[in-house]
């Protein structure tokens, strides 16, 4: 309204009429805000501040718990890694022991087989040798028996008998 009046009158000026300008109403409103707003707004702000502080404390507590849990998890991880490393070492040592034992058994088995083969070879050689001796003796006897009738006449037989009897008598 002030602007419309100022434009209508053609000039600009101040209006000091208290009732027309509503200065009293504004003063009452400002006083009421000054008197009641701090307690009302202060309560709201205090509750909000308290809620924020509580949330911050909860967040800090959760952070501490999470930090502790992380620290414990790191310790458990380190322990698990040490166990895994020890298990790995034990497995490698066991695998090496099994490999060495297997090699030892293989060498022993090969030596046993070789010994068995050598034994079999020796026994087979002895058997063949004995067989050859028997056959050679049989052939010698057969040859001697075949040659004996032609070489042994009556005079030779008598000399042979006399020598044999003399030998028996001398012993």
Query: Does some domain include residue 6?
Result: yes
Instruction: State how far the Cα of 1 lies from the Cα of 21, in Å rounded to an integer.
Output: 9
What is the span of the domain harbouring residue 44?
2-149
Residue 33 lies in a domain: yes
| Residue 96 within a domain | yes
Structural domain count, the chain: 1
Is a pLDDT exceeding 70 seen at residue 13? no
pLDDT at 12: 59
The 10 Å CB-count burial string (b at 16+, else e) for 7-28 is eeeeeeeeeeeeeeeeeeeeee
Please work out, in degrees rounded to the nearest 5, the angle formed at the alpha carbon of residue 33 by the alpha carbons of 27 and 39: 150
Q: Which two tokens stand for residue 20?
A: 């027309």
Q: Among the listed ranges 62-76, 79-93, 144-158, which one has the minimum average pLDDT value?
A: 144-158
Residue linked to tokens 């004996």: 148
For 45-54, what is each residue's pLDDT tens digit? 889 999 999 9
Half-sphere exposure (CA, 13 Å, Cβ side) for 6?
A: 8
Q: Is residue 126 part of a domain?
A: yes
91 within a domain of the structure (yes/no): yes
Whether 92 is in a domain gets the answer yes
Q: Is residue 162 part of a domain?
A: no
Give the per-residue pLDDT at 2: 47
With vertex at residue 44, the alpha carbon angle to CA 40 and CA 48, rounded to the nearest 5 degrees, is 165
- List pLDDT tens digits, range 14-69: 666 666 667 777 888 888 888 887 787 788 888 999 999 999 999 999 999 999 99
For residue 155, being part of any structural domain is answered with: no
């Amino acid at each position: 309204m002030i602007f419309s009046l100022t434009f209508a009158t053609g000039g600009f000026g101040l209006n000091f009429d208290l009732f027309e300008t509503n200065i009293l109403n504004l003063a009452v409103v400002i006083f009421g805000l000054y008197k009641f707003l701090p307690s009302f707004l202060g309560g709201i702000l205090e509750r909000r501040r308290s809620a924020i502080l509580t949330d911050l404390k909860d967040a800090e507590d959760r952070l501490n718990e999470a930090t502790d849990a992380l620290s414990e998890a790191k310790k458990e991880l380190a322990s698990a890694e040490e166990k895994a490393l020890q298990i790995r070492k034990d497995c490698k040592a066991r695998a090496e022991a099994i490999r060495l034992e297997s090699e030892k058994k293989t060498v022993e088995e090969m030596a046993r087989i070789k010994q068995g083969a050598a034994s079999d070879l020796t026994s087979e050689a002895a058997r063949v040798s004995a067989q050859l001796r028997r056959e050679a003796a049989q052939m010698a006897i057969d040859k001697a028996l075949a040659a004996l009738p032609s070489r042994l006449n009556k005079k030779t037989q008598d000399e042979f008998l006399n020598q044999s009897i003399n030998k028996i008598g001398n012993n």
